[in-house]
Structure 1
Amino acid sequence: MEVFNHIKYIIAITLSFSIAHLLRGTVKFIQHPNRVKPYITHLLWVIYMYLTLIHFWWWELRLAEIAQWYFFAYFFIVLYITNYYVICTILYPDDINDYKDYKDYFFSRKTWFFGLLSVAFIADIFDTLIKGKDYFFRLGWEVPVRNLILIILCLNGIKVKNPKFHLILVIVFIIYELFFIARLYDVPIK
């Protein structure tokens, strides 16, 4: 259990930084409403990432069931959560002075955003396997198929420049994530 506590603290620290970064970026719209106007698609991706980070923390509770830890599994988990932090910093840069607004910024950085989000979905498969093959197979076909479809959608997000496509894409991501969480995890963890 000592190793899990160590991993739990590393995850908690990085998750806290990620969530704080999203909250700090969003609160700027309240603090300075006339500086830069929010862009709805960007804000919805922020909401999606917030939801994903909370889901990630819940998902990682299963790490407590791992009896024996190895460095590379630990290192992988640290890289996985670090990727989420980087995604959050891409959503909210230190400043956007080089851009007209958040719409311009989002479209200029969508390759990085969707590329790293794809990496997270790939990492999710390995993260699930770290928890054991029994756990992986207990989840059934949905996790690998879900991640493959989300990766394909992210790759399309990189290519497509249509703002309506991106708005619909983020709405689909949020709705699916909420249903996924409700179906698989709206039960107490023992």
Structure 2
Amino acid sequence: MSATPTPVASSNEQPGRPDAAERRSRLRQYQVQLLARMQAARTNSGARVNQLGVAMGDERYLLDLTTAGEIVSVAPVTAVPLTQAWYLGLANIRGNLVGVVDLARYLGLGETPVGAEARFVTFAPGLGMNCALLVSRVYGLRHAADMTPEAARLRDGDGQAWTPLDLAALVRDERFLQVGL
């Protein structure tokens, strides 16, 4: 019997890990799938409209995927003097200065706690505002079409109430634009 030679991992590769070409292929496939999902959300051509579920303070909100940008870890925030209490200051996110807002405070609902699950959710570039919301938790994608409407809220199958939040309307709100005292 002849033994087939087993491939030897190069010094740059580790056994059990995909090689660089395979990783690039997987990344490309993921990007194509993500782009298709984002385009379906923008055109509402999908059977269900996906929204990003987040918590700010004790309240749960749904953000339209076309207006929400990145979800990033909480970064240090530099306070800006003579601004509203809900305007937390500026953070450096990927080399860009971004204004950080505690929307729960803005809405008079108290302070958003900053725990291990807290994140910044940036506004989509199309909104024309370098801004991020402090959220206490990101729940991921939610399907609004699967929820039951109740007044200004939606209720999911688990009985949780969600408030749709229109970031495009928020950036047009005069009070939101006036961060100075």
With structure 1 as the length reference, what TM-score do the two structures score? 0.25
With structure 2 as the length reference, what TM-score do the two structures score? 0.26
Higher helix share: 1
Larger Rg, first or second structure (1 or 2): 2
Greater length-normalized contact order (CA 8 Å, ≥ 6 residues apart)? 1
